[in-house]
Structure 1
Amino acid sequence: MKQGKFYTKLILWIFLAAVVCYFGYAVFSTIYAPLTTVTAIEYEAGTGSYTTGYVVRDESVVRSAYGITALLVSEGERVSRGQALATGYRDESAQARQAELEELEEQLEQLTFASSYSADAAGQAVLEAEISAQLTDMSQYLARGDMNSVRDRSANIKGLVIRRMSTEAENAALDQQIAALQTEIAALQADASYDTTLVAASKSGTFSGTVDGYETVLTLDFLNTVTVSSLAGVQPIDPPEDAVGRLIAGSTWYYVTVVPADQTAGVESGDQVPVTFASQFYESIPMTVERLGEEQQGERIIVLSCDKYMQDATLLRQQSADIVFTSYAGLRVPKEAIRVDEDGQVGVYILEGSNASWKSVNILHDNGETYVVELDQSSVNNLWPGDEIIVTGRDLYDGKVVR
């Protein structure tokens, strides 16, 4: 029992010693605070709102009368009125015929290109020079990863090689091969006229291969009348079964969302605000305030527009974004470094050599653990980027030797 009491007392004394050491260290650190500094750096902060809304475009649904459709243009591609967007096939046999037709047309292109060169010695020299030049160009396109250009030039190179390797007798037979191919192609095209059709653009615009049912819900007219409550109730409709994509008119797209009313104080139509989307864009983009709705229960509708980057915005719909309404640019200063002198002026001490030097500052924005203060480079007596701001130090005054 005595031994148990001894260990209990020992543990209590150890605990008490630890507590005394802790508080002793805290008092010592307060009285003899070490000098710590931080470098003044340029910084920009802002006030705004992180919200979720919808991307709106002037869209029309592209439809195909046939069940099988193959797109001919890529996502975000600019198209002109009447340009073929897709090929529609009534059934799989029509689609297979089209593949055969394209193969024959490529062969015809190669043979026609080959027949345009002379078969004499001078013509052969021209062929060799042309093949060399074409291969050089193709290697450059391959190095850049431009496979479209490689594909475009491959038919010409094949035609040149065919011509170069052919004998005079084989060259004489080229015209017969070309005529036979033309006849076969004409027959396939005649058959295709009954079960194959092109889907053309009804107007110029930007193509997207996605249809989500919002095309006739989120319209430009909707943006003129939408309220906080009506935006909350937005729902898509079922897309048409024959939809193959959508055509976006113009180059302007919009973002509509709800923000706290107190965040929009001083914001007017025509103002530009930086917006950072949660996806697609890696940096903030400037957008123009088109409309601010009336306040409803502390919130307001805001409609923003952008006339750039349409090719990157074709797939965006419901999106979260950070909208900055007011930005503050200056120098970042820790809150612990801010002091008030006898005259009530706010400032900081900086380290100049071995001395503390007073610099008055104008606080622009409270950024949580730091302030953004004004950067005024009109005088060397102001706080400048690169100055060593004293964060902790005891009994500081202007001119005090601290090191």
Structure 2
Amino acid sequence: MTRKNFLQKYALRIAAILAMLGLIVYTVAHAMDFAMGNVLTTPVRRITDTQITSAQGYLFRNEEVLTTTGTGLVDTLVENGTKVGKNVSVAKVWSTAASGDALAAAQLKLSRINRAIRILEDSQLKAGTPLSEANKYRAEYTALYREISAATEAGRLDQIPALEEKLLVALNRYVSLVGETNETKEHLQALREEKEDLLGAASSVEIKSEISSGLFYDGGYVDGFESAFSTAALENLTPESLHTLIESTPKVPDGQTVGKLVYGYEWYLALELSPSVASGFFAGREYRFTFPENNDTEAVLTLERTVAGEGTVLAVFRCEDHPNDFLFYREQTVEIVVGETEGFYIPESALVTEGNLMGVYVFEESTVRFRQAHIIWMGEGYAIAELPGEGSSTELAENDILIVSGSDLYEGKVYR
């Protein structure tokens, strides 16, 4: 085959190969040019962003500490958080000759007996409960075990006792259904006899809700700030007076502390916000709160008012709900949903200014173009840009190739 015939026969194939080689050379050179310029890009995406602000809140309620003269063994008659009517007995204080460490040991023993009795009483099943319920209780105690493990890993140790009680109740119910014998009643009787032996023939004093109905909590919930952090103290509260309350010394009335009564369902949180953050809050509006150190409990609180201070703003929120398993500690870490914004996500490094316009650079057919971006929210390391109007060619659009970072960028720069 002559050279001429060879070229005629394979001309199209050779041309295709040369074109492909040219494309490869162009692509490699183009990529090298990008690499040399350290250009980083990403497609523009629409998102819905939730803005959250964090703060330390302080709990205000109408509370009365219940005390008794002298000392003795405190036997609570109702569970924590139970609503009791007026003149209802909430505890008995049994006289004893023990004092100091001996009294503390006896009180601890009584508390443990009461807890065991409460668990076994809750563990009792109704007559005729079918065996099929066993799977439900097994699933309950398995889930509670995982919840206890998660709380332990997160350091939420104050939540574990209540979770343990629920787990033991579910486990006891399961065993009662699948086990050969059910000794719950026998164990209950033994515990009640042990409690009688501990209290003996001592006399007792009943502690009642004398003022009005309320929610009862035992002495473990008394922190000494009940009178300081009252709803009356909220009336003239300022950022400065809040600091004074926080730094004050706890005070408990004379006598032995039995527990406390909380009057009314309303509770308040007072917290400080920066002026810029506070400008987005409005009195009378509801806000979603999360309590990350309180089992991630969620609640809706209403903003009552704000009070400006020196470089800070006091915000007072109100709530009437009592979330399940919520621990009403005086100090609460909170996360508040400020708002939700829909728009284009822009890394902060991509923002540029041309003239007096804020915007970004994008690639359009290998050419750098400036696109105006109306920023409606600045987050930590990012911004949210407003969605463009219909048919806009000068504003940022979805799926534009956004230049996140690069050197020597300007409108009209061509990458070849």
TM-score, normalising length: structure 1: 0.59
Instruction: Give the Å deviation of 1:206.
Output: 5.6
Equivalent residue, structure 1, for 2:316 = 303
Equivalent residue, structure 2, for 1:205 = 215
Equivalent residue, structure 2, for 1:364 = 376
Give 3-state SS (helix, strand or coil) of 2:169's partner: helix
Equivalent residue, structure 2, for 1:148 = 169
Equivalent residue, structure 1, for 2:159 = none
TM-score, normalising length: structure 2: 0.57
Give 3-state SS (helix, strand or coil) of 1:291's partner: strand
Indicate the structure (1 or 2) with the bigger Cα radius of gyration.
1
Supply the distance in 2 between the matched residues of 1:232 and 1:134 (Cα, whole angstroms).
58
Structure 1: runs of 5+ lacking an equivalent = 1-27, 114-126, 163-180
In the alignment of these two chains, the number of paired residues is 323
Supply the distance in 1 between the matched residues of 2:295 and 2:175 (Cα, whole angstroms).
36
Give 3-state SS (helix, strand or coil) of 1:233's partner: helix
Q: Is contact 1:291–1:303 with CA below 8 Å preserved after alignment?
A: yes
Equivalent residue, structure 2, for 1:229 = 240
Instruction: Give the Å deviation of 1:317.
Output: 1.0
1:37 aligns with 2:34: no
1:295-329 deviation digits (Å, cap 9, x = unpaired): 44344432122233455554321345566767755
Q: Is contact 1:134–1:157 with CA below 8 Å preserved after alignment?
A: no
Structure 2: runs of 5+ lacking an equivalent = 1-31, 99-105, 142-166, 184-188
Q: Is contact 1:45–1:367 with CA below 8 Å preserved after alignment?
A: no
Q: State the identity %.
A: 20
Equivalent residue, structure 1, for 2:203 = 195
1:239 aligns with 2:252: yes
Instruction: Give the Å deviation of 1:62.
Output: 3.4
Supply the distance in 1 between the matched residues of 2:338 and 2:171 (Cα, whole angstroms).
48
1:157-205 deviation digits (Å, cap 9, x = unpaired): 99x989xxxxxxxxxxxxxxxxxx9xxx9xx89x988624665555243
Letter in 1 for 2:232: D
Matching residue within 57, 63, 75 for 1:59: 63
Task: Write out aligned runs for 1:3-402 (5 A).
Answer: 32-41=36-45, 42=47, 44=49, 46=51, 51-63=55-67, 67-75=72-80, 77-81=81-85, 85-91=90-96, 136-137=132-133, 140-145=136-141, 147-148=168-169, 195-196=203-204, 199=207, 201=209, 203-205=213-215, 207=217, 209-234=220-245, 235-240=248-253, 241-261=255-275, 263-265=277-279, 267-275=281-289, 277=291, 279-280=293-294, 282=296, 285-293=299-307, 295-321=308-334, 329-339=342-352, 345-351=357-363, 359-367=371-379, 369-376=381-388, 383=396, 387-391=400-404, 392=406
Q: Flag the 1:277–1:97 CA change in 2: closer, same or farther, 3 A.
A: closer
Supply the distance in 2 between the matched residues of 1:249 and 1:53 (Cα, whole angstroms).
20
Q: Flag the 1:345–1:63 CA change in 2: closer, same or farther, 3 A.
A: same
1:57-105 deviation digits (Å, cap 9, x = unpaired): 2222234566112345544x333326664443323899999979x99xx
